[in-house]
């Protein structure tokens, strides 16, 4: 089973109330090859919500207690991000998920890039909290862009 970010599946759950719909992912959901989740909603957040970024490192550093997730107004929401990641991982394990496609640049879902904690629109090469937790559990995580590249190379049935 494939797990995907809910916003990529067309659900308007991003912090600003929008989706980031990807037609290939919508197709995977329609064909019942994928399930969708939003780690931030599972962490107890609502939509819309304040934007948040990781300050002081990557999602791995958040899990290790050396970085934190902070909202634009300054509130420390680290614990809720970790809780959302843990709940997402539990759902993945219960559904025998072996591939996860998560939305790039999110402090939860980013797999290659996240924003750098300055709220200035600058990105850094790092993974978000949910991606870090999944990778430590041995589950493969890629972005929507990675998925498109793999489909171009080997077809949707082989990603
Ligand atoms: Fe999308 Fe992930 Fe952000 Fe939820 S936490 S809105 S699934 S990028």
Question: Which of 101, 106, 110 to mutate to test ligand 1, by most ligand atoms within 8 A of the CB atom?
Answer: 106
DSSP reduced 3-state for 24: helix
User: Does the pLDDT at position 153 exceed 90?
Assistant: no
Chain segment 128-141, per-residue pLDDT in tens:
999 999 999 999 99
Chain segment 15-56, per-residue pLDDT in tens:
999 999 999 999 999 999 999 999 999 999 999 999 999 999
Is the CB of residue 80 below 6 angstroms from any atom belonging to ligand 1?
no
Q: What is the pTM of this model?
A: 0.96
In 3D, which of 79, 76, 126, 78 has the Cα closest to residue 106? 126
156 confidence band (pLDDT: 50, 70, 90)? low
Per-residue pLDDT, averaged over 95-110, amounts to 97
Chain segment 75-84, per-residue pLDDT in tens:
999 999 999 9
Give residue 93 CA to ligand 1 midpoint distance, Å. 19
Residues 28 and 34: beta-carbon distance below 8 Å: yes
In 3D, which of 92, 69, 67, 90 has the Cα closest to residue 80? 69
Pairwise CA distance, residues 12 & 124, whole Å: 25
Torsion of CA 42, 72, 62, 95, to 10 degrees: 20
90 confidence band (pLDDT: 50, 70, 90)? very high
Pairwise CA distance, residues 137 & 55, whole Å: 23
């Amino acid at each position: 089973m494939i797990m995907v970010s809910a916003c990529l599946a067309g659900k308007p759950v991003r912090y600003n109330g929008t989706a980031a719909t990807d037609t290939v992912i919508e197709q995977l959901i329609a064909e019942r090859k994928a399930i969708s989740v939003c780690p931030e909603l599972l962490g107890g957040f609502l939509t819309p919500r304040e934007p948040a970024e990781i300050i002081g490192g990557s999602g791995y550093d958040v899990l290790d207690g050396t970085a934190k997730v902070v909202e634009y107004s300054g509130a420390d929401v680290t614990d809720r991000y970790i809780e959302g990641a843990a709940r997402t991982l539990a759902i993945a394990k219960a559904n025998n998920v072996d591939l996860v496609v998560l939305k790039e640049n999110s402090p939860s879902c980013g797999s290659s890039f996240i924003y750098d904690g300055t709220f200035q629109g600058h990105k850094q090469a790092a993974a978000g909290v949910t991606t870090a937790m999944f990778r430590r559990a041995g589950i493969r995580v890629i972005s929507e862009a990675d998925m498109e590249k793999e489909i171009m190379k080997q077809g949707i049935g082989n990603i």
